Amino acid sequence: MRRLFQNKVLVMILATLLLVSFIALSSIPGSPLSNVTKPVSVIVDPIQDVFRKIGTQISDFYSAIAEGMKIRKENEELRAEIAELEYEVQQGEEARIRWEELKSAFFIQDTFENYHIHGATVLTRESDEWFSVIRVNVGTKNGIDSSNGSYAVVDARMNLVGRVMTTDVDSSKILPLLHEGFTVSAKVNEVNGAVVLVTGDVSLKNEGLCVVTRIPTNIILKPGDELVTSGEGGLFPAGIPIGTIESFDNSDPDHPTATLRPYVSISDIKDVFIMVPNTQTDDGGKKDPSEVTIPTGATIPTGASLPEGSTSPSTDTTALPGGATSGEAGSSEGAEGTPDPQEGSV
Amino acid sequence: MNKKERARQIILYAVYITSVCCIQVTFSHVLRVFGRTCDLMLVFVVLAGYLFGTKDGIVVGLIVGMFRDYFSGPVITGLNKEPVAVLGIGLLSFFYIGFLASVLFRKRFRRKYNLGILQVILISLIYYSLGHIVSFIFLSVSGNLVTYHSLRYILFSSILPQIFANILATIPLLFLLRFVGPYKKGIRSGLVDGYSVEDRKWQSI
């Protein structure tokens, strides 16, 4: 037996067969092999987080030195701006109360009120062209579980970033919008806008573009036209901004295509928000859907604001970014774009 | 190898592997040269296999491959157009990289340190060329290929800049493996290569 294992060729063939079987089994949806990474995540994630924190501290330290004068000047400007904003907040608060009254009276629903929004920080980025998913620091411990279906991921301005692929205890893998495996049904953001398909593309990825297909033959897309998620397919709620049309190619009149520049720049993004349908996270008691869970250590991205009554980001709640802040909890029925996470990706 | 040496080897390998993998995926934006991220994981596996033999190459390759799968494992699109996160592609590729680095030009290069750079160039060329070929074939067969990179792009904007970035990553790693470990004086004593022990004395920078 020992002599058998001294044969390098045999060992290589056996190992290859074993690894190929492992790959094949792991690619089956719902395979128990996808849980193999869970124990790894318990050990590796804290170590990786240490590296991330060290990196952040070093970069903050150098920024503080290099940008000292600039920061001081900016600070003065910001103080003036705060005074103006405080006045606007007062005005806004009155408007909000009026809006709540009208909303109850007219049974208006916010587009994303049926979702809990979990804030997350990007932990790791791509390793090379093929190993190009990103990992964020929320997982099953935070109520994100990919076995219940995938979830939409947005940035602080509610622009589409990607979707959750797999979850571990403390982290999750996100498939970014530019990845060639990513597909989303979209529509032109206008009344009765055409429904199209936005897909990541290998050759356009490096230019930060996606390809738009299934464009109805009678439609001509213009550069600058905005595309939002259509809500078809159930994974992504309708109305999430994706990006704008960059170019339109009608050389094949039966199959016109276009390129789209997403609003989100994946390489610059540091924080993301995961949209979990209320039905999945409600465990007895219902949470206010406008709440955003910010994991410890995560920073609040630009555009996200604290709700009334919150004291600091560390209190774990903040208002939903992008303006979809209020609404009654649990009123999922009849809402436009209410997703069924068991359905497909489009 | 006595117990002390074995412990030193395991500890140093653990520290190297963890650091190399975490640094690459956490600071990929800092490690960018000509638009390509230095592939520290690949370089480390190549050097471990090249300098310290098949056993080290394969074991380090499997562990680094597992980290690669865990951190940023590839997503493939199935025939039903649904993306699937796959585990094991990193394991398989880095297993082969570790093995290949330990056997390729073994007798000609004689594990000389400065030729490690050449080994990194060769393995990078093989890995990235095969990566593009496999990716193209897979996308074509699964019917998910809209367009693919031009040959010019693959050569001048993907493979060559990546090789250059990897060369830059090789230099500090070579010094680290030579002067810090995992083996004293950067030489693995029990390595059976088919040439005399005296030959290995010229394993120096």
Average pLDDT over residues A181-201: 88
Sign of the CA dihedral with A13 first, then A18, A21, and A23 last:
negative
> What residues of chain B, 70 to 109, have a C-beta less than 8 Å from chain A?
70-78, 81-92, 95, 99
Q: How confident is the model at residue B116 (pLDDT cuts 50, 70, 90)?
A: confident
Residue A34 lies in a domain: no
**Predicted pLDDT at B193:** 53
**Predicted pLDDT at B190:** 65
Q: Of the candidates A165, A160, A137, A122, which has an alpha carbon nearest to the alpha carbon of residue A269? A: A122
Average pLDDT over residues A32-60: 82
Tally of structural domains, chain A: 1
Cis peptide before A301 (omega within 30 of 0): no
Residue A255 lies in a domain: yes
* Model pLDDT for residues A219-258, shown as the tens digit of each residue: 888 899 999 998 887 788 888 899 999 999 888 888 889 9
CB B170 within 8 A of CB B116: yes
Average pLDDT over residues A28-47: 78
Contact state of B26 with A51 under an 8 Å Cβ cutoff: yes
Q: Which residue has the higher pLDDT, B26 or A32?
A: B26
Hey, how many other C-beta atoms are within 10 angstroms of the C-beta on A162?
Answer: 27
A19, A202, A257 ranked by CB distance to B149: nearest = A202
Contact state of A48 with B39 under an 8 Å Cβ cutoff: no
Q: Of the candidates A89, A111, A94, which has an alpha carbon nearest to the alpha carbon of residue A326? A: A111
Tell me how far apart the alpha carbons of residues A168 and A35 are, in angstroms, rounded to a whole number.
8
B69 touches chain A (CB under 8 A): yes
Average pLDDT over residues B32-61: 89
Residue A68 lies in a domain: no
Cβ-Cβ contacts under 8 Å for A3 (sequence gap 6 or more)? none
**Predicted pLDDT at B129:** 92
- Reply yes or no on domain B3-184 having CATH 1.10.760: no
What kind and span of H or E run contains A71? Answer: helix A68-106
Cβ-Cβ contacts under 8 Å for A69 (sequence gap 6 or more)? none
Residue A237 lies in a domain: yes
Judge whether residue A343 has pLDDT over 50.
Answer: no
Query: Which residues constitute the domain of residue A245?
Result: 183-262
Tell me how far apart the alpha carbons of residues B19 and B13 are, in angstroms, rounded to a whole number.
10
Residue A239 lies in a domain: yes
Average pLDDT over residues B178-199: 65
Q: How confident is the model at residue A341 (pLDDT cuts 50, 70, 90)?
A: very low
**Predicted pLDDT at A296:** 42
Contact state of B87 with A19 under an 8 Å Cβ cutoff: no
Looking at residue B79, the DSSP 8-state letter turns out to be: T
* Model pLDDT for residues A82-102, shown as the tens digit of each residue: 988 988 898 888 888 877 777
What kind and span of H or E run contains A271? Answer: strand A271-277
Contact state of A15 with B157 under an 8 Å Cβ cutoff: no
> What residues of chain B, 113 to 172, have a C-beta less than 8 Å from chain A?
131, 135, 139, 144-150, 153, 157-158, 162
Radius of gyration (Cα) for chain A, nearest Å?
23
Least confident of A21-25, A104-108, A134-138, A173-177: A104-108
Judge whether residue A298 has pLDDT over 50.
Answer: no
Contact state of B77 with A181 under an 8 Å Cβ cutoff: yes
CB B47 within 8 A of CB B177: yes
Cα A272 to chain centroid, rounded: 5
Rounded percentage of chain A residues whose pLDDT exceeds 70:
75
CATH of the domain at A188: 2.40.10.350
Average pLDDT over residues B106-135: 85
Q: Of the candidates A59, A175, A129, A51, which has an alpha carbon nearest to the alpha carbon of residue B39? A: A129
* Model pLDDT for residues A73-82, shown as the tens digit of each residue: 888 889 889 9
B196 touches chain A (CB under 8 A): no
Tell me how far apart the alpha carbons of residues A48 and A50 are, in angstroms, rounded to a whole number.
5
**Predicted pLDDT at A68:** 77
Cβ-Cβ contacts under 8 Å for A97 (sequence gap 6 or more)? none
- Mean pLDDT estimate for chain A: 75
Least confident of A41-50, A215-224, A240-249, B163-172: A41-50
Q: Which residue has the higher pLDDT, A193 or A27?
A: A193
What kind and span of H or E run contains B83? Answer: strand B83-85
Q: Of the candidates B115, B132, B124, which has an alpha carbon nearest to the alpha carbon of residue B160? A: B124
Contact state of B22 with A48 under an 8 Å Cβ cutoff: yes
Q: Which residue has the higher pLDDT, B173 or B197?
A: B173
Residue A233 lies in a domain: yes
Q: Of the candidates A112, A165, A113, A175, which has an alpha carbon nearest to the alpha carbon of residue A139? A: A165
Average pLDDT over residues A110-137: 80
**Predicted pLDDT at A110:** 64
Contact state of A131 with B68 under an 8 Å Cβ cutoff: yes
Greatest mean pLDDT among A187-191, A230-234, A339-343 = A187-191
Judge whether residue A23 has pLDDT over 90.
Answer: no
Q: How confident is the model at residue B178 (pLDDT cuts 50, 70, 90)?
A: confident
Average pLDDT over residues A326-342: 36
B chain contacts of residue A46, beta-carbon cutoff 8 Å:
none
Cβ-Cβ contacts under 8 Å for B174 (sequence gap 6 or more)? B47, B113, B114, B116, B117, B205
Residue A312 lies in a domain: no
**Predicted pLDDT at A276:** 86
Average pLDDT over residues B157-172: 91
Residue A286 lies in a domain: no
Q: What is the ipTM of this complex?
A: 0.77
Rounded percentage of chain B residues whose pLDDT exceeds 70:
85
Instruction: Report helix, strand or coil for A187.
Output: strand
Q: Of the candidates A173, A232, A303, which has an alpha carbon nearest to the alpha carbon of residue B70? A: A173
**Predicted pLDDT at A132:** 78
Give me the DSSP letters along A108-172. Answer: ---TTTTEEEEEEEEEE--SSSSS--EEES--GGGT--GGG---EEE-TT--EEEEEEEE-SS-E
B chain contacts of residue A181, beta-carbon cutoff 8 Å:
75-77, 83, 144
